[in-house]
Amino acid sequence: MFLGLAYGLLFFVLVVTGTPIPGWGIYSFTSHYQNHNHIGDLWGVVLLVPVYNLLRKRKNFPNLLLLGTGLFFLLISLSRSAYLSFAVALTFLLIRLGILPKFRRVFIFAVIISVALFIYASLVKPTFETRIYFIQALLGFRYYPFGVGLGNFSVISKMFEGPIFGLASYSIYVHNIALEAISGLGILGLSFVFWLFSAVEDVFKSSKQNIIFASVFIFLLVNFLFDRTYVVPSMLWLWFMALGLAQKSNA
C-alpha cells in the first residue's frame, strides 16, 4: 500500500510537471502515445486489500478511500493486463472465501466493469499485434533449443519481425514470464515452468488465513503472463513475498 501511494503521488507529479522520466518505471507511460501505464498493475495489487476487508465486513474510511483510489488508477492506466489480473484474483478470492454465491452480484458487476474497461482500452491501442511475441517465442524454440540467454529475446523477435498471420511486431521482452524463461533458457527453461505449476498448485491449497497473500500471488502471476511487469524489481519481489506468505502454513 505504501508503494502504491508513493508511486501514485509520483504519477501526479509526472502529469502536472511533465517531467521526463525513463519509460520502464511503474508510474511512467510505457509509450509515446501515453496509452498504457503500469501504475494500474501495481494498484490492482493494492486494491485487493480493501476489497478483502470489505468482503470481511470491515467497512471504514481508509478501506473506502483505498478502494476509490485503486479504481481510479486502474481506470486511467488503460492496462488490460491489470483488468484481467484483477478479475481473476477477485474470482479466486471469492471462491476461496466460500462467499461467491453470497456476493454473486458484486462478482457480476466486477466482471462487467473489467470487460468494459478492457474493451475501452482496446479501442485506443492494438491487441493481437502486441502479443505476436508469444508466437515468436514458440517459433524461436526450434532454432534455439537451448535458448538465447535471459534478456535476449530481441534476437528471436528480430528473426520473425516480418508479418506472422498478417501481423508484424518487435520487442525485447516476450510479455510472458513462462515464455521468457523458455526463450532464454530453452529446454532448461521447462524446469521453471514445472516449478510454476507446482507453486500455483500449492497456493491453491493455502489456508484461509493466507488468502489475501494467495490472491496477490495470483494477480501478479496473471499479470506476468500478459505483460512485461516481471522485469520490474518491485513487482517481482512482491510476487515472491506473496508466494512465501501464502505458503507459510502449508509446510
The number of CA neighbours under 13 Å toward the Cβ of 29 is 14
Residue located via cell numbers 507529479: 13
**Residue 130 near residue 79, CB atoms below 8 Å:** no
Residue in the structure block whose three cell numbers are 508511486: 7
Q: What is the 3-state secondary structure (H, E, C) of 126-163?
A: CCCHHHCHHHHHHHHHHHCCCCCCCCCHHHHHHHCCCC
pTM comes to 0.88
What residue ranges of the chain have pLDDT lower than 50?
Answer: 251
CA distance 106 to 226: 25
- pLDDT confidence of residue 166: 52
The pLDDT of residue 157? 86
> Quick one: pLDDT at residue 240?
95
pLDDT, residue 147, reads 93
CA distances 87 to 52, 77, 93, Å, are 14, 16, 10
Please report the pLDDT score of residue 33 as a whole number.
Answer: 54
Write b or e for each residue in 157-185: b if 16 or more Cβ atoms lie within 10 A of its Cβ, otherwise e. beebeeeeeeeebebebbbbbbbbbbbbb
End-to-end CA distance of the chain: 28
Residues 216-242 pLDDT 10s: 999 999 999 998 899 988 899 999 999
Closest CA to 199 of 182, 221, 179, 173: 221
Q: Where are the alpha helices (DSSP H) in the chain?
A: 2-17, 39-55, 61-77, 80-97, 104-123, 133-143, 153-159, 177-185, 190-204, 211-226, 233-246
Q: What is the CA radius of gyration of the chain?
A: 19
| Cell 483505498, located at residue | 66
The x, y and z cell numbers of residue 127, run together, are: 491487441
Per the document, the length of the chain is: 251
Give the Å distances, CA to CA, from 31 to 28, 83, 126, 166, 227. Answer: 9, 19, 13, 23, 14
Q: Where are the domains of the chain?
A: 2-125, 129-192
